[in-house]
A and B are shown apart, each in its own frame.
Chain A
Amino acid sequence: MDFQPDASLEAFREQVRGFLRDQVPADLKGQQRCTRSPREQITRWQKLLTERGWGAPYWPKEHGGTGWSVPQILVFDDECSAAGTPTLDGFVHKMLGPVLNSFATPEQKAEHLPPVFNGERLWCQGFSEPGAGSDLASLRTRAERDGDHYVVNGQKIWTSYAHDADWIFLLVRTNMDVKKQAGISFLLVDMRTPGITVRPIRSIDDAHHLNETFFDNVRVPVANLIGGEGQGWNITKFLLNNEHATVADLPELKRYMRELRLIGSTLQVDDQPLFEQPGFALKLARLDAELQAIEMLVQRVARLEQQHNPASHTLGSILKIRATELQQRMTEAQIEALADYGAIAYPHPHEADPQQPFPQQALARGISHDMFLRRASTIYGGTSEVQRGIIAKMLFQL
């Protein structure tokens, strides 16, 4: 262990900054990033990165990625967040991509990897069902073999961005006669296939990210099966174990801290900036201490994940719980810092401006949307309660 500064990392940061400054047009910067950016922006941003040779920033070199180290990835994400670039399609970069790289056939890779780099095929994740949330293995959507097709019937729910996705990666039941985990398969489905219906669900941040997705005799080529029949559960574990460092959403946590500091410097109380108030400063100090620790924990977990070290699973669960709780507390702290302005329902950042600007709109818009949506962070990606169960079991065999 040592904590020598890494000069090459600073050079890398300069490189990223230079790219963001010189090659990214202004209308792709200064965006709100908590949720997925609009399609047109994702596509433009993806193409720009691909041109620069950074089309798959999180993947190893042998799969066409940048092969960046964990610290480099963190620097990249951090700088992009600070610049407010659009998001990438996280579903394909962080979840499906590693699955394809490890489990897909050469034909499947040839079909699905090129569109990642041109940003023209957006993905969504079809795992959860009304009856299968935390108990994912009890899922009931069925895929029955009919010649060289599967016929898919069933319902998924909470399918984020299904309304704006071209493809979905789906967990289906292909065998009813074995242990429930062993009957699950991992299928890629074109969202334009007849028989798929997507219905919107509005969430408490007053926006549309979530959907119900219905499958009514949807015919999917057998060639779209990833791994073998019954491999779906193993692939899912692989996928979920890779996402802890991602769910922590460190770049967003750092953005929240920047915004909190900005609020503290902008608002005036008793003719002084808010940060002079002891209550605000103490709260900021506690959050800052935790953020520093989370930043280190993210790096520990990400490194273990990169080495495929199983110790990353428990530590990842710990990170998931604490980072998502911090997301909630930091966004709540922002709203609290706004005081009564925090109660105002500003228009969503992706919506049109109101005719007459709301008071403190430039400072406050978007914060409440993040805060309300962050209530879900402790629910998706394995609820905090389920994570605590995993930790107790893995660490102490309880």
Chain B
Amino acid sequence: MDFEFTSEQRLLQDSLRRYVDKAYSFEARTALLKAGKDGSADNWGLFAANGWLMAALPEEYGGLGGTLVDTVIIAQELGRGLVLEPFMACAVLAAQTLLATGSEAQKARLVPQLADGTYRIALAYGEAGSRGMPLPVTLQAEPVHDGFRLSGRKSLVLGAVGAKAFIVSAQIPQAPGISLLLVDADRPGLTCQTLPLHDGTWAQALHFDGVEVGADALLGEAGQGLSGLRQGLANGIVALCAELVGGMEKTIEVTADYLKVRQQFGVPIGSFQALQHRMADMAAELELARSSLHAALDAMANDDAVTRDRTVSASKMLICRAAKSVCGQGIQLHGGIGMTEEYLVGHYYKRAVVADLLLGSSDSHEAACAAALQAQLRA
């Protein structure tokens, strides 16, 4: 284990930091928010040109052959700038699910287009009853002559705006288990309701009303999709957690600066011990969160799927809760100004609140951890 960045990793981090500081200022982001789309297509093209979309994709499919550590470096820097484009949702969650489940032919056809940013896919797995967890799935994919007919709903698909296709989790009656199918976004019978989220990003609720797809839409084997879905989700969660670590860093920096300049009672408010201790606690939460992210990376690299999922769930709840607390305190230490839409700390809090609820809420992941521990103790 080594906690130091290699020189390539440092370069990657620097290039993202420069990009976010220059091109993604709070003002630039606010303008994008006002434009009301899920980020900008130009930015996505730029991410592709800089190699960020392909960093962790295999070389044989046009990627750079990096690892999840590269993804984490990218996500963390994007998180510092509250970047709106759906990097986590499309370039990690959906892309890694495709890698984990697609056939060679499917990957050879699709992954190069993900890598160069010309094609965007989103993962449609969550339903009203699953609350962001992979199970249960009720959407039906009924076999018809040379393909499937899909009926059902997906509740909150991230990165769906601008996606050309969805990876959809479904039940195929004759094949117990979960199956994944790739469905073009413009198929007849598919309706998408676009929903704004608190952090300025967008999701879609999908309604499949007898949507027909060909047999080649099936990713991998019928009924065998769950483990790949879990792997994709684990990757997505790690990227989301990395974003929050970046968000916490930025919140703490901005707050520390403010405590030095804001004067009350004739002194900088940073001279009040109550606030010094709060800042120390926020720093401690951040470092614990960072270490929890490292634990997740360790598990992703080394553990079997069950242990991996338990660790990733633990990180999800610990890091999301830390982020809500740190960013909430960021508002508190700013006083009234922290409550305003024109100031940045409130937006970090909003992102933390949203992240806490996506890909399974902290509460759901806590329950999953508890269940895994109980199973272990019983055995």
**Residue ranges of A at the interface with B (Cβ–Cβ < 8 Å):** 128, 131, 133-135, 138, 157-158, 201-204, 206, 210, 268-271, 277-280, 283, 328, 332, 335-336, 338-345, 356, 358-359, 368, 371-372, 375-376, 378-380, 383-385, 388-389
Would B357 and A206 count as touching, CB distance under 8 A?
no
Cα distance A133–B264 when bound, in Å?
Answer: 8
B343-379 interface (Cβ within 8 A of A)? 346-347, 349-350, 353-354, 356-358, 361-364, 366-367, 370
A338 to B196, CA, bound (A): 16
CA distance A376 to B328 in the complex (A): 10
> Which of B106-114, B126-134, B161-169 has 4 or more CB atoms under 8 Å from chain A?
B126-134
Closest Cβ of chain A to B12, distance in Å, is 29
A39 to B334, CA, bound (A): 31
CB B136 to nearest CB in A, in angstroms, measures 7
Classify chain B's interface size.
35 or more
Q: In the complex, what residues of B have CB within 8 A of residue A158's CB?
A: 336
Of residues 187 through 235 on chain B, the ones whose CB sits less than 8 Å from some CB of chain A are 193, 195-199, 203, 205
Instruction: Give min CB distance, A77 to chain B, whole Å.
Output: 25
Alpha-carbon separation in the docked complex, A368 to B272 (Å):
32
Given contacts A203-B341, A339-B131, whether A345 and B358 have CB atoms under 8 Å apart is no
Hey, which chain B residues are within 8 Å of A378, CB to CB?
332
Is A356 within 8 A of B193, CB to CB? yes
21 A-B contact pairs sorted by A residue (CB < 8 Å): A131-B263, A134-B264, A138-B265, A157-B336, A204-B331, A204-B339, A204-B346, A206-B341, A278-B367, A336-B363, A339-B357, A340-B131, A340-B132, A341-B156, A343-B198, A344-B196, A372-B198, A375-B328, A375-B346, A379-B331, A388-B274
In chain B, what residue has the closest Cβ to A209? B339
Kindly name the residue among A134, A135, A345 whose own CB sees the greatest number of chain B CB atoms within 10 A.
A345
CA distance A270 to B130 in the complex (A): 8
Judging by beta carbons under 8 Å apart, are A372 and B350 in contact? yes
What 9 additional pairs, Cβ within 8 angstroms, besides A203-B339, A376-B336, A379-B336?
A133-B336, A134-B265, A204-B349, A339-B357, A345-B195, A358-B195, A378-B332, A379-B339, A383-B332
Bound together, the chains give a CA A213 to CA B363 distance in angstroms of 43
Q: Bound state CA distance, A134 and B335, in angstroms? A: 9
User: Contacts A339-B364, A340-B358, A368-B198 known; A204 to B350 CB distance under 8 Å?
Assistant: yes
CB under 8 Å from chain A, chain B span 252-268: 263-266
Is the beta-carbon distance between B332 and A343 smaller than 8 angstroms?
Answer: no
From A133, A203, A358, contact of B340 by CB (8 A): A203
Partner of A279, one of B136, B197, B264, B363: B363
CA–CA, A328 and B353, complex, Å: 13
Quick check: B342 and A202 within 8 Å, CB to CB? yes
